[in-house]
Amino acid sequence: MPAWRGTWRVDLAGTAVLAEPASWWRGTYRFTAGERTVAESGSTGGWSPRPTPTADEDLPLDAQVLLLWLVLVLQRRAYGAAVAASVGGAVAAGSG
């Protein structure tokens, strides 16, 4: 379940970076500055997936950490929304 349905604009030390979903199915994100992709998120997979960022060498470490934090927040929101939807559906089905 996606955390958002469009793009977000992130300011990384004066550089505007657009954050957008790269894959709805895998829950990964792409970060672009202009036409250039500066970072992408991946996942370790399995039962406890953890994001694995891949960034350009030019991107400072503090900016990479900020993007990793953003992916963690967005994934947590998406998982929370998915749980709420499934619990709400189960409650609605059981109350009939």
Mean pLDDT of 63-69: 92
Mean pLDDT of 55-75: 89
pLDDT of residue 47: 78
| Span 5-48, pLDDT tens digits | 567 788 988 889 998 888 877 778 899 999 999 999 888 877 77
SS (H, E, C) the chain: CCCCCCCEEEEECCEEEEEEEEECCCCEEEEEECCEEEEEEEECCCCCCCEEEEECCCCCHHHHHHHHHHHHHHHHHHHHHHHHHHHHHHHHHHCC
